[in-house]
Amino acid sequence: MDFFEKWHGLSRYQIKVKGLLGSKWSSWFEGMTIETEGSATVITGELPDQSALHGLIVKIRDLGLPLISIKRIQKSMPQTGSFQKDQNNKK
């Protein structure tokens, strides 16, 4: 298994936008969870890669919702020292 394979996979994102969207929009956002937080909407879910994240951002833009923040809140991480171990094995 190389370094890329260890980091590849689903990432969980939390995207906050200004404005309110109801839960009925979750199908438009491909099953992501939609919750309101004051006058903002928080869209949370797993995305397979950066391309999917960019696609979601385009949908938000198309709705005219101002973007407040994007956070990656969960990602599979390699074991401590795995990167160094892999680099040593390649020598």
Q: Per residue in 16-57, pLDDT tens?
A: 999 999 878 878 888 799 999 999 999 999 999 999 999 999
**How far is residue 16's CA from residue 48's CA, in Å, rounded to a whole number?**
19
Handedness of CA 70, 41, 12, 26 (dihedral sign): negative
**What class does CATH assign to 3-89?**
alpha beta
Mean pLDDT of 51-70: 95
Mean pLDDT of 7-21: 88
pTM confidence score: 0.70
pLDDT-derived band of residue 1, with 50, 70 and 90 as boundaries?
Answer: very low
Structural domain spans, the chain:
3-89
pLDDT tens column, 70-85:
999 976 554 445 444 4
